[in-house]
Amino acid sequence: MSALTQLIRREITGAWQGGGGPLMACGFLACAAVLPPLASDAGPGALVEAALPITWLALALASLLSLERLFERDLDDGSLDLLSLGPAPLEAVVLIKALAHFLANGAPLALAAPVCAVSLGAPAGAAPMILLAALIAGLGFTLTGTLGAALALGARRGGLLIAVTVLPLLIPPLIFGAAATAQAAGGGDFGPALILLIAYTLFALALTPLAGAAAVRAAQG
Amino acid sequence: MFGLANPQRFMAFTRPLVPLLWAAAGVLLALGAWFSFTAPEDYQQGDTVRIMFVHVPAATLGLGAYAALGVSSFFALVFRHALADAAARAAALPGAAFTLLALITGSLWGKPMWGTWWVWDARLTSVFILFLFYLGYMALRAAIDDEARAARSAAVLGLVGLINLPIVRFSVDWWNTLHQRASLIRADGPSIDGAFLPALLTMMAAYGALFLALWITGIRTEVDRRRVVAARARAAAGA
Amino acid sequence: MPDFDMGRYAAFVWPAWGISLIVLGALAARALIAARRWRREAEKLDQERPR
């Protein structure tokens, strides 16, 4: 188990260091929150309807940040080969990388999401649900994004490639998360949406390690 | 069936088959066009119903081609078969083209019917997302220089896409019912008049034959191409 | 007899069929041209090094 623990520690420190991680993610979200009002011709109250959609859009895009470096560094310095030969199964390595990335990127985004939404005009009462949905969806986004990062390993224009391959896969958690927060904001029943969101994230939790490991092996040839 | 997995046997088996498929596609298309333009006008849609005869087959084959891509990817991953990978690759462009045609003809169908070039209803949105799946797949293949690596990565993506497709479809349908918008294209709903069936079925068969012709021709081309490329690489290494 | 008078829908029906036939035709042409090209290359191979 100590090999796994070491890997966890390594991944988490790696994700938080180097200017990536929480500051960049929240900075992106802040920019995404301020641009629509500035780009909009209408008065300050007009974007209230769009507050939640804009927040979800920003969340989905921000989750793609710094994904290309997730495996890139290890591929470049050879540690990816060592990791795949090591005691921990490659599936576990992929999962740990994804979770570490979530802690450094997805979780701070989820904390910033209610702030972003409310500042755009969403009702403050929806904030707890926004936080919860952003956390669960964020994990889903990160897991799927990690899969994309593994697939795009060593390819040209990695960041853009990850986005193009992964964005259609992000549609289900986006739909379910947005529905849950919209229901919460409107005082409706957010139950079904939330359950579907949790179901998707569980599905991603199962698929990403398997497919991600296959993708890493594909990259190593 | 698995005997066909041997490239040489595959080439021998498909050699007489391919011209037949092309011929069938041509005949069925001509016949389908005839039926399409001799069918009566629809009570509500008037002459625009004739667009249905190119839209529905395109959408169906766009989906079918992706299934072919996904299943081929599965065989490529699990059995590591070069022929399976060639099959996946050969399905991508035709499938994307069919899907694009479905989008364009869908738009042309929608404008006279609902007054708008595009509407985010469940059906059209799903077809659009399918198109995005194709684009992602082709982008991944193109972005990786090493062909063998590109093939393996693409196989994973193809399979992941196939698994995710029902989920995405479900989520879009679910989203659509949330907003209580009835699916505007009821092409396969109860309102299909029997008078339209000959045209629709013939065009479906035509598109199906055409896809098979395109697909198998593409696989054969890929087999030849790899043989030539491999031989050239060997010659360059030996020289 | 086929009814070719689409009335006010002509601007939609004909482009729909037209684009479909053009795209499908282009796909077919591309596939057949590529097939012929690589077939010829492969046959050249077989001639150079008879198996």
Among candidates A216, A201, A218, A1, which has minimal Cα distance to A97?
A216
Sheet strands (E) in chain B: none
A and B touching (3 or more beta-carbon pairs closer than 8 Å): yes
Q: Would you say C23 and B97 are in contact if contact means Cβ atoms under 8 Å apart?
A: yes
C44 phi and psi angles, rounded to 5 deg = -60, -40
Find the range with the poorest average confidence among A101-105, A130-134, C5-9.
C5-9
Contact residues, chain B, for C4 at CB < 8 Å? 37
User: Is B168–A172 a contact, with Cβ atoms under 8 angstroms apart?
Assistant: yes
Q: In this complex, do C27 and B94 lie within 8 Å of one another by their Cβ atoms?
A: yes
Question: How far is A214 from B150, CA to CA, in rounded Å?
Answer: 13
B74 at C interface, C-beta within 8 A: no
> Residue ranges of the domains in chain A?
2-220
pTM: 0.90
pLDDT in tens, chain B (239 residues): 455 678 888 999 999 999 999 999 999 999 999 998 888 877 777 788 889 999 999 999 999 999 999 999 999 998 888 899 999 999 999 999 999 999 999 999 888 887 888 888 888 899 999 999 999 999 999 998 888 889 999 999 999 999 999 999 999 999 988 775 554 455 444 456 778 888 999 999 999 999 999 999 999 999 999 999 988 888 888 76
C42 touches chain B (CB under 8 A): yes
DSSP secondary structure of C1-51: ------GGGHHHHHHHHHHHHHHHHHHHHHHHHHHHHHHHHHHHHHHHS--
Could B171 and A157 be called an inter-chain contact, meaning their C-beta atoms sit closer than 8 Å? no
Q: Which of B161, B187, B201, B202 is nearest to B102 (CA)?
A: B187
* Residue in chain B nearest C35 by alpha carbon: B221
From CA B136, how far away is CA A166, in angstroms rounded?
8
Say if the Cβ atoms of C27 and B48 lie within 8 Å: no
C–B touching, 3+ CB–CB pairs within 8 Å: yes
Question: At a CB cut-off of 8 Å and minimum separation 6, what does A221 contact?
Answer: B146, B148, B149, B152
The pLDDT-based confidence of C49 (bands split at 50, 70, 90) is low
Q: How far is it, in rounded angstroms, from Cα A7 to Cα A86?
A: 11
Delimit the domains of chain B by residue range. Answer: 66-231
Residues of A in contact with B161 (CB under 8 A): 169
Q: Which of A64, A91, A164, A190 to mutate to test the interface with B (most CBs of B within 10 A)?
A: A164
**Given pLDDT bands bounded at 50, 70 and 90, which one contains residue A31?**
confident
Query: Please, what's the b/e burial string for B178-215 (b: 16 or more CB within 10 A of its CB; e: otherwise)?
Result: eeeeeebbebeeeebeeebebbbebbbbbbbbbbbbbb
Structural contact between residues B94 and B21, judged by C-beta atoms closer than 8 angstroms: no
Q: Measured between alpha carbons, how far is A218 from B75 in angstroms, rounded to an integer?
A: 15
The answer to whether A136 and A197 are in contact (CB under 8 A) is yes
CB distance from C50 to chain B under 8 Å? no
